[in-house]
A and B are shown apart, each in its own frame.
Chain A
Amino acid sequence: MAPMIAVTDLWKVFGPRAGRIVGTPLADLPRAELRARTGCLAAVRDVSFDVEPGEVFVVMGLSGSGKSTLVRCLTRLIEPTSGEISIGGEPVRAMGPKRLRDLRRRQVAMVFQHFGLLPHRQVLDNVAYGLEIQGVPRAERHRKAGEVLALVGLDGHEHQYPDQLSGGMQQRVGLARALAADPEVLLFDEPFSALDPLIRRDMQAEVRRLHAEVGKTLVFITHDLAEALTLGDRIAVLRDGELVQVGTPEDLVGAPADSYVADFVRDVPRSDVLTLRWIMRDPGPDELCEDEPLSHRTVIRDAVHRVMRAERPIPVVDGDRRLGVIDADRMLAALVSHHRQVPA
């Protein structure tokens, strides 16, 4: 299947005469040095990735690493300096203003860290704003907005004003607003960073539920690893504007590409993220195994019980194919060790 979003060699340089940097030796300078030499700041450097339809793609990195810039480049809220972006197969950078507006109105919606609600409008009209500017008649857009509000659990709050709602509820409004025009892609820029931890967890659950229900393509920016791991099908790690690694949560935890990523994932309990694939071994010749196999997708933690109580190693299978076996020794090692693991 064709990717929903394809980004190729994307650059965004802020500063005076930013266009002169890309494609010259200057582009290879580290961020700080480039800045000292030219006064320009390369917020996004040579980034390429694809996002599949229906996927939740998380972009993660420390503050200042260029996440917000990257996600804004996708719909050209920030004009990229160079590179290609296509959404739904259509090159975004070639779009005229009208087509670009249309893209933003119907295909791609965004949820912001600081909500960006309009304080002078009631919740209902905030949610209906996108439809309003498309010229949808009042009754129609209010009906649609009401539906979306129900979807995010805000029915009954239609006629309140944003400042009468709690932070979590405000972000639900932001979410509803993004969903109102039924876009194919949702972009989230650290949507829950401004919320309390408890509420944040609720909201993450909400996003998972919505993703399951409406099945959109999600690009989700966060600096919070736990959030990335719970939500992401794949995670891209950004450092100083460069992509360091793109992979599944397991890839990141199990095989960090470098010390930056390793630092990031150091405190993650591996057994919570890694699957059996990462700790199984090849079966010995004629080794006797348990009958009931385990799927290679099983997270380690979920297998502890069985493996420790089994008398013999348990086969690990991918469908019918046997990939390896897992036994108590291996399991113990995985539970206690902090060694770098290499997938078999």
Chain B
Amino acid sequence: MRSMRAAAAAALIVSLTACGGATSGAGEDEPSSGAKGTVNLAINPWVGYEANAAVIAYLLEKKMGYTVEKKELKEEIAWQGFETGEVDAIVENWGHPDLKKTYIEDKKVAVEVGPTGNQGVIGWYVPEWMTQQYPDITDYKSLNKYANLFKTSESKGKGQFLAGDPSFVTNDEALVTNLKLNYTVVYSGSEAAIIKAAQQATAQKKPLLFYFYEPQWLFAQEKYVRVKLPAYSEGCDADLKKVACDYPDYVLDKIASKKFADTGGAAYQFIKNFTWTNDDQNLVSDYLTNQGMSADQAAEKWVNEHEATWKPWIPA
């Protein structure tokens, strides 16, 4: 198979030379055509996304006979994958109007495939015990008063605001500046690191102000309270450097490469049909994170228990 592809690609080189150069996608895997092929799923680095991908991959493989390749990619890089043909679909996208403009409108290598059914919330959070001890802490205006509580080795004498993966959608640094908060943004590097810090903050009653989001399984176990920032209004985040308002609510959606949309057949249709609730996702995330299940095990368990939810996704 592979060698045939190599030969084909060699032939491609020759023919390309004849008719004017190689485009950036030349020689890449053809995306799965109508036949039972391979679906390349990007895996973005948070567990909610993995839950979506786990169930989608499980159903594609076990119920529909496809092969699924999962690729651990950060969001931006996953979008690049539409261009190169490395990625067929992203199954939980948080906004990214700029990427949509580049890849969907300008380059026309990707298409929107509709919402996942999940409502996305991004915000600043503190552990619940803090709201009891410092009732006004949930208002951003009083954050400066408590900055001392949040000092750490990394916060340069100010309060620490703990952010996640550098690739996540964030306005935090601009918010800190524009709201004149006496805080330093420190990037923990990953969702898992935030979760760990949050759990520690609850268990050991340590102060923590952090970037977090829903859907998120952790909320099912422990309580965290959102800090009120100036309310979001349409367009208040247009200039990323001047943002001084809270994050909007997101309708999380799915994106596919243009090629996959055109030739993906049943697999594409299936992904298009996929929608579920935050609770569904949190359940699978919980299996993944806390029950020590692999993606396949978690998906299998959920699929066995929720036939009614997924049956309609499978195209007739």
- Are A and B close enough to touch in the complex, i.e. CB under 8 Å? no
Where the two chains meet, the residues of B that have a C-beta atom closer than 8 Å to any C-beta of A are: none
Where the two chains meet, the residues of A that have a C-beta atom closer than 8 Å to any C-beta of B are: none
